[in-house]
Every structure is written in C-alpha cells, then in structure tokens.
Amino acid sequence: MYNSKIVGLGYYVPDNVVTNDDLSEMMDTNDAWIQERTGIKERRWVEDKTGDTTSTMGVKAAEIAIERAGIDKNDIDFIVFATLSPDYYFPGPGVAVQKALGIKTVGALDIRNQCSGFVYGISIADQYIKTGMYKNVLVIGSEVHSRGLDKTTRGRGVSVIFGDGAGAAVLSREEDPTKGILSTHLHSEGEHAEELSLIAPGMGKRWVSDILRDNDPDDVSYMPHMNGQFVFKNAVVRFSEVIMEGLMKNNLQVSDIDMLIPHQANLRISQFIQNKFKLNDDQVFNNIQSYGNTTAASIPIALTEAWEQNKIKEGDLVVLAAFGSGFTWGSVVIKW
C-alpha cells in the first residue's frame, strides 16, 4: 500500500478588502465588538466586476498548487472540490475546474461538508492514493459567502464572520510509509444539523413555484443561521477529541506537534485549543484576522501561508483539524 503526501499548495483571495469599519456602515456594529467576539479585523469579499466565483477562484488556487507540485495539469487523475457555495445548484464546481484547466476527462467529486470539507477531501484523496487507484489528486476548498449574507443589523451575528477565498493542494504517491499523511479521522453528529445551517433554498422546504410566487423578504430561512454559543461549546470539545485521536493513532504526544492548522472559525476557539494543549504561538497558525471564516477554504489558505512563511519544514509533524456545520469534524496527521 502506498502513502500520500502534499506536494503542492496554492491559494487565492479577492483583492477587495472589507474592514470592520466598512461593516459598521452597513449595520449596527463596530470594530471592537467584532474583534472581541471573533478576532477578525478584515475579510475579502468578491466584486462582480472581477468575475470571481467559487469555481474560478478554485481554478486560480489550483493552478498555483499544480505549478508548485512540479507536475503537468494532465498528470492530475482526480479532482475533489469542497464548498458550501457552488456557482450552480448543480452541477458542482468540480467539473467546472476540469473544464477551465483543460484537464482530460478525469473524475470530479464535490463535497458538501462545509467547514470540514477540505479535511474530508484530503481524507478521500489519501484513500484513493493509498489503494493505488490514483497517483495525483487535486483537492480544492473554495467559498463565496458574501453574496449570501444578510448584511443588515439582523444578520450581523453571522455576516461579520465570513469571507471569500480559495485554497488547493496536490496530493501525490509517496513510497516511504513514514512520510506524508499518516492518518485521517472523520466524524459527524447530525442531531445538531440545524444549529449551523442554511435551510433554503432546498427541496425539503418548499416547492420552487411557491418560493417564486411568495418572494417573502422576511423569510430568514434563506439566510445562514448559527447558534453561536452552542457551536462554540461543541467545537472546543470535538477539536480536542479529534486532535488527540490522530495523535494516539500514531503513538504521538501533543508535544510532538510542530504545527497545528485549525479551521479558522473563530480566533477564540483556536486560542482555547492552543491553551488547553499548552502550545506556543509558533506551533499554531491563525490568519482569520485577515480573511475571516472562509469555511472549506480556510485550512488550505492557512496551510499555504504557513508553508510560504517557512513555518513548516521537512520532517515537521503537521496536524489539520476542523469542526463545522453538520455537525461534522475531522483531523489529518502529516509527517511533512
């Protein structure tokens, strides 16, 4: 059985910077209120004039990752695309990436696991490579949240958190079983699905004809809902559990972690985990301050930035961990 390793990373974020002060002009909020609760100072939101979409941003991140991997685009055997904000209801953005990159008719899989989407995608790619089915797998996480947010005071508890962006990784076959992805761990708890959700549009709610007829501006089911305190309490527990699960699987200790890349949901969650595990600032990478929560894109963007800043080097133990809507959560343990 083969092992898999990450051989190329890339990310793309829109040029348009939206600060907390900018948001205060749209809704009743302020910079201090947002930073105190989330740690976020600014985020990126797409602008129509640029043509940025979930799939086009994914393509831009993928092109960088493929170039850094030192392979040709046609060496890609399979595409995994994680997002909660696809360009279309269907088809998913995986095929859009295949078309845009001009890759041969390889398989394309779309993942709807929201904040855990990239971790799930890495796990799937890892299994395909381990079994020998594929040699090079492209995994993308990309989101456009800004077009679906309630940018009024009613929606401020959610809308101040989210940003747009994309990240990508190329996974390739590794012959050395002590290098690359050592293990992945995935979980879900569907009983809490509606605590962090977007109920509509969905075929389980109403007929499309009714939606078009009523056009009710007060129907908040079309806006993201989050029970913030409940999500926070569950997140800190599941983050801790799934990180420890990965370490124990590989007979490792918390002290062995060289770099923890948590999903950038809330800086307070990351700081809680850092303090619980007694990790120093050099062992945890956070960039939510600059990008907000980019959901499926947050880990690949952070991982790429950490690597670009030489905070990750060969031989390091890198742990990825995510928790989000579903609830779903997971971790990845990597020997870089």
- The DSSP result for 290-318, as a single string, is HH-B-GGGHHHHHHHHHHHTT-S-TT-EE
Distance CA 87, CA 90 (A): 8
Q: Which two tokens stand for residue 301?
A: 């963007």
Q: Does 190 lie in the same domain as 60? A: no
Q: What is the pLDDT of residue 227?
A: 80
Q: What is the pLDDT of residue 204?
A: 66
Q: Does 244 lie in the same domain as 207? A: yes
Q: Does 85 lie in the same domain as 40? A: yes
Q: Does 231 lie in the same domain as 126? A: no
Q: What is the pLDDT of residue 208?
A: 54
Q: Does 9 lie in the same domain as 146? A: yes
Q: Does 60 lie in the same domain as 126? A: yes
Q: Does 170 lie in the same domain as 251? A: no
Q: What is the pLDDT of residue 196?
A: 75
Domain housing 67: 3-174
Residue numbers annotated as active site? 115, 263, 293
Query: What are the residue ranges in the chain where pLDDT is below 70?
Result: 200, 202-214, 219-223
Q: Does 157 lie in the same domain as 10? A: yes
- Give 122's strand partners: none
Last residue of a domain, one of 152, 174, 196: 174
Q: Can you give the CATH number for the domain in which 69 is found?
A: 3.40.47.10
Q: What is the pLDDT of residue 222?
A: 66
Total domains in the chain come to 2
Distance CA 158, CA 75 (A): 40
Last residue of a domain, one of 155, 174, 193: 174
Q: What is the pLDDT of residue 200?
A: 67
Q: Does 143 lie in the same domain as 226? A: no
Last residue of a domain, one of 174, 206, 223: 174
φ and ψ at 23, to 5 degrees? -65, -30
Distance CA 268, CA 235 (A): 11
Q: Does 157 lie in the same domain as 90? A: yes
Q: Does 225 lie in the same domain as 162? A: no
What are the C-alpha distances in Å from 222 to residues 45, 61, 83, 137, 149?
A: 19, 29, 17, 34, 9
Q: What is the pLDDT of residue 325?
A: 86
Which residue from 29, 127, 24, 143 is spatially nearest to 82, judged by alpha carbons? 143
pLDDT, one tens digit per residue, over 214-251 is 677 776 666 677 787 887 788 889 889 999 999 999 99
Q: Does 17 lie in the same domain as 164? A: yes
Helix (H) or strand (E) holding 111: strand 107-111
Q: What is the pLDDT of residue 203?
A: 62
